[in-house]
Chains A and B, each alone.
Chain A
Amino acid sequence: MSETKSILGSSPLRKEGRPKVLGAAQYIDDLTLPGMWHGATVRSTIARGTIRSITFAPHINWSEYAIVRASDIPGENAIVHLPKDHPCLAAREINHVAEPILLLAHPEKSALLAAKAAIHIDYDELPGIFNIEASEAAVAAFINDPNDTDNIIWPGSSEGGTPNCFKNYQMYTGEAAPTESALVEAFEAADFIVEGEYTTGAQEQLYIEPNGVIAECDLDPVTGHVRGVTVRGSMQCPYYLVHALTLVFNLPEEKCRVIQVETGGAFGGKEDFPSVIGSHAALLAMKSGHPVKIIYDRGEDMAATTKRHPSRTRLRTAVSRDGKLLGGTIDVAIDGGAYATLSPVVLSRATIHAPGPYKWPHLRVRSKAMATNIPPHGAFRGFGAPQSLFALERHMDKIAYTIGFTPEEFRRRNFLSTGDHTATGQPLVEPVDMHHLLTRALADSGYHAKRAAFAESNQHSRIKRGVGFAAFMHGTGFTGSGERRLNSLVHLDILADGRPQVLVSSTEFGQGTNTILCQVAAEALHLPYDDILIHEVDTAAVPNSGPTVASRTAMIVGKLVERAANEVLATLRTQAALPTPHTREQFIAAAQRHHAQQGFLRASVRYEPPAKIFWDDDLYRGDAYPGYAWAVYVAEVAVDLNTYQVQVTRFDALQEVGRVLHPILAKGQIEGGIAQGIGYALYEKCVYKDGHLMNNQMTNYIMPTSADLPDIHVTFEEVPSLHGPGGAKGIGELPMDGPAPAILNAIENATGIGFNSIPLLPEDVYERLTSLTARPHGGAEDLNPVVDQATRTESPEVNA
């Protein structure tokens, strides 16, 4: 074995990097199949109602077109999810703007424009429900009078959910009844009760490559029946699309083939949506008898596809004079949009992350996902955690100021440490040192010196500067029993020339999947990185290693690759006389020997849950995640009182993510996530009017440019985890969680005003400052009075 430096922890060139910098990488819109047609989608222009009639103007020769309606679907008219509430095409009822109704295909793309314009749809329109509060009000009216179903827009389902509510959870730090009693006592004993309400907006993933697919359909020439379908496209989770196709076409899994092509960004936005566009293109391929390409343009992609769930989180906390959390209740509500889709899973992550990295003696988290007449909200990096962690980390600052502690000291008195139990009762077996992370992050960022300097300089300047931080964690992999159910499988093949090839369904969409999995294999096999191949993600060839989501690829799939590599080594050692240690040449010789004597060598490895991990779905207690990444982020801001604009002037991000597999990719992941987090906090607003997204263009949906972002300083603490390859944990979503609360905490430090809603635009800062100068006020908490038990000035109870 050559004693070279470890491949893990080095930064080899991205596997598919060369074609990307050459412009040679082939994305879906760069591909053309022989005889290919182009597809388009006819969508609803109302948010809620029923289709009365559809008319096709006679000036178009409709025989040239393939036209698909709901009645043409050979299988079920549903996009695969537990409650089959989400139609592939609307047949009669409309539940959101831009809901697909008809599909068109034609050999000439430009011919679709006139055809779309020549289809007229009449509706019987109903008033829509456009936010959480309206949806709750409808439920209240319905409870009051069971005949009042006018605004019940989602009926409930046998798979769970109640009218207008897709899912709800209750999570306690112990048994429900005793915890409720303990909470009553905690609030009675508290020196301070601090309450707060925090809201977050929808956010567009804004991958630069819009959604797109090409579908082919294999038709029986005699019967015309569909024998199989193949869909290529830009996506994260090919097997999700396989399952969607099996339902829509009533075909077995092996007849539904999905191939991921180079994918131009995803961030969750191509997790479940490809099931929709992929099914649509396959239906058009069936109807036309030709391959059909559908590429959304930016406006359609933004108007019709998923966004991050808007949220409202209410916290009520009992705190002692010496800075201890005694108990709390957290109520999280998210806006799920018109259909259940992934909302129950997003809500789950929001619920479990709501308590943050703190010890709660007694805590109740209640959460719910409400239905609205907005296009379904879906996956976006962080997946519920950014919402509830924004609320928590703003609230921690609020408590600190209320009880007279610094944000730092108050958190230090409540941090979880090694050996403690999380709010779900999970013992923290692996080392956790939030104190050290906080100390280092504050030192690296110059936090204390800045706080002092800004307090001085702010007195004489229209530009108010401040620093703030957020402390948080993100669970790696699927929640609870999720990984057990996924039952992921990977293959590692040894090809005839002796080169290893990784086969997984884990996709590359910029994060570095190809590169890190090849690094893991190279490290375990003691081979050079360049020797490792990774197979194209084609479900006809690769096994289901689970979806590429939930920060699970490095830790969960990486570990499977590592185990497969070890199996290959063991086989070659016992069956092909591979020496220990070995050189590259010895490995190739042994592999070729094995191939000649015993044929093809494949190691197949399946997920095995760590023996000690247990999760109870009913009680919502147990080991929520196999591992957590921990972090402290520090934001520095400048608030210009002439323009009310907030500029992030520096950002420091320290995280403990286990072993860092590839420092350049890891930094790129963190920096990219922080950029999205800064956008989430200060720039990116989805403006809706009657359920229509009004700013579905890059000109009016404002994401940060290179001129808007501060220097981002990324550092890591490396504490190897038992669960990941070489000690790695997941990092993909973590950086989305911290920026928004850190920035708003910094704004409070700069201005003395606590803002609790994002996105926070200059207009919001202006409105708040004007309302403060118009009336007498008490500074930071003027609009959010707290209860001080000592003085007995109760604030009105916040409605749950």
Chain B
Amino acid sequence: MTTIKLTINNTPATLSVSPIKRLLDVLRDDLHLTGTKEGCGEGECGACAILMNGELVNSCLIPALQADNATLTTIEGLANATHLHPIQQCFLEQGGAQCGICTPGMILATHHLLAQYPNPTDAQIREGLAGNLCRCTGYMRIFESVRQAAAKSLLPNH
């Protein structure tokens, strides 16, 4: 066991875990943040995607020790007490979520994409989300959700 410190959704946490325990399991088992999902366990589907120090990562491929001193954002950290994050709102309105199991990872991938490209082209959207597999939507409603979220974020006074 080893002690790691991290900041999770703006809250500091200190944990005693096996150093090679998957960050995904640390989030789900130790921190009880079950919004991060496991779809494949091999970094292929993106259901476990989170933001680590602002970068999109697959939490199933990160040993806990490598998250020591990291700042993490999971799906639970996006909304505030009263409002959905604009990306969440757009996924809700545009049909970007069907069964919902890929949705947390997809929303965080969108967050990462829009941080890099506030007004992404269709090609940038397709590439930015290609690591997040969705079996329900055929992606079209997700693209529309991302476009709407980008449009919202570009509005002045946002």
Contacts and interface: CB of A to CB of B under 8 A. Distances in A.
Given A21-B103, A22-B35, A22-B79, A668 B98 contact: yes
B101 to A, nearest CB: 3
13 contacts: A20-B97, A21-B89, A21-B97, A23-B75, A27-B37, A29-B38, A207-B135, A209-B39, A265-B99, A510-B98, A671-B141, A706-B125, A707-B126
A23 B104 contact: yes
A26 B32 CA distance: 12
Contacts of B12: none
B98 A13 contact: no
A697 B100 contact: no
B57 interface: no
Contacts of B137: 668, 671-672, 675
A1 to B, nearest CB: 27
B39 A298 contact: yes
Given A208-B45, A208-B133, A511-B98, A14 B138 contact: no
A208 B134 contact: yes
A706 B143 contact: yes
Contacts of B118: none
Contacts of A19: 100
Interface in B80-101: 84, 88-89, 91-101
B136 interface: yes
A262 interface: yes
B139 A675 contact: yes
Interface residues of B, number: 53
Contacts of A712: 138, 140
Given A26-B34, A30-B34, 14 more contacts: A17-B92, A20-B92, A21-B92, A22-B35, A23-B35, A25-B100, A210-B39, A664-B94, A668-B137, A672-B98, A672-B138, A675-B138, A705-B130, A705-B133
Contacts of B59: none
B26 interface: no
Interface in A628-677: 664-665, 667-668, 671-676
Given A30-B34, A707-B127, A298 B100 contact: no
A22 B39 contact: no
Interface in B26-81: 28, 34-42, 44-45, 47, 74-76, 79
A330 to B, nearest CB: 30
Interface in A695-732: 697-699, 703, 705-707, 709, 711-712, 714
The secondary-structure label for the interface of chain A is loop
Q: Ordered nearest first, which 10 A-B pairs have the shortest CB separation?
A: A23-B35, A264-B101, A510-B99, A23-B75, A675-B138, A20-B100, A510-B98, A671-B138, A30-B34, A698-B44
Nearest to A302: B40
Contacts of A668: 95, 98, 136-138, 140-141
B76 to A, nearest CB: 5
Given A207-B135, A262-B100, A23 B44 contact: no
Contacts of B141: 664, 667-668, 671
A263 B135 CA distance: 13
Contacts of B150: none
Interface in A200-229: 205-210
B99 A264 contact: yes
Given A21-B91, A22-B79, A27-B37, A697 B101 contact: no
B102 interface: yes
B93 A672 contact: no
A19 B91 CA distance: 12
Contacts of B98: 265, 510-512, 668, 672
Contact of B97 (A17, A24, A674, A709): A17
B101 A209 contact: yes
Contacts of A26: 34
Given A20-B100, A265-B101, A706 B34 contact: no
Contact of B41 (A18, A208, A266, A298): A298
A707 B76 contact: no
Given A21-B88, A264-B101, A697 B40 contact: yes
A510 B127 CA distance: 24
Nearest to A21: B88
B130 A676 contact: no
Contact of B44 (A21, A511, A672, A699): A699
Contacts of B39: 208-210, 298, 698
